[in-house]
Copies of this chain bind each other. A is one copy, B any other.
């Protein structure tokens, strides 16, 4: 039974939990960011590394990396910087394999992502996904909100919620979007949405192609080893018919549930209050807050509403 959902004016204490989480966990201060060394190619900062990591690269791999004292940046040596896309990818890949074999780069994925100054600029090379955060290279992803709308009021009433498999290495058992994934090299955003819809939730291409691009969130956060995670997540809305039920397809999701949107909002507020330890996988909260704003689930009369809007795009959104 569907019921109408009106914009909710959140209490000051709920908004304070949300803003604390968004600001502290996903918006590093200029002082925190200053500790990281830019990794530049052709003058563009494509990454930001810890100074310890720069020491390892320059000390142990001087035929590939050098540090520029004047600009305080990490760079390729001139011969590598001048090399082709393929040769830069190869030089970087060999260093990363060595670092993996020493146990320094963990969680190898065997998945290559492009490295570029901005999302739409030509990539300089490819990088192993697990190495991204060590180099502080921006990573891009797609997150899909699968929702149901009331046919009369046109308001969003329910959202499909995934529970991650308890055996997943990252955030086991936490809540997740119906479909989400990183963007591998050589595939465009919509192709990726369609591919992930099939792989993760058995949503066929016909239905998945109704997904609408609706914006993005961006952030900088610290991972468990102190590396920078600089992510931009492209958000998609997929309106699903009431008769459709997604099913786990690749073993990464334990189950899917259709949850009332007000209950999802409660989960997000509680999750933010727990510092991202409960409820949704931490970065999903940002995509959901953007969804709540765009669909009038959170009222603009809520305190710090405007500040939240900018807080959701405070990473290097480019």
Residues of A within 8 A of B (CB): 7, 118-121, 153-155, 188-190, 210, 212-216, 218, 232, 234, 237, 239, 293-296, 299-307, 309-310, 313, 317-318
Contacts and interface: CB of A to CB of B under 8 A. Distances in A.
Given A119-B305, A210-B153, A232-B306, A216 B300 contact: yes
Given A213-B7, A234-B300, A300-B189, A310 B307 contact: no
23 contacts: A7-B190, A120-B301, A121-B303, A153-B210, A154-B210, A154-B239, A189-B300, A189-B301, A212-B295, A212-B296, A214-B293, A214-B294, A214-B296, A215-B293, A215-B309, A216-B300, A216-B306, A216-B309, A218-B306, A237-B296, A294-B294, A309-B313, A309-B317
Nearest to A209: B6
A306 B294 contact: no
A264 B184 CA distance: 34
A119 B318 contact: no
A155 B212 contact: yes
Contacts of A210: 153-154
Contacts of A300: 189, 213, 216, 234
Shortest beta-carbon contacts, A-B, top 6: A212-B296, A120-B303, A213-B296, A306-B317, A310-B317, A213-B300
A317 B307 contact: yes
A118 B119 CA distance: 33
Contacts of A237: 296
Contacts of A294: 214-215, 294
Which among A120, A153, A303 has the highest number of chain B CB atoms within 10 Å?
Answer: A120
Nearest to A217: B309
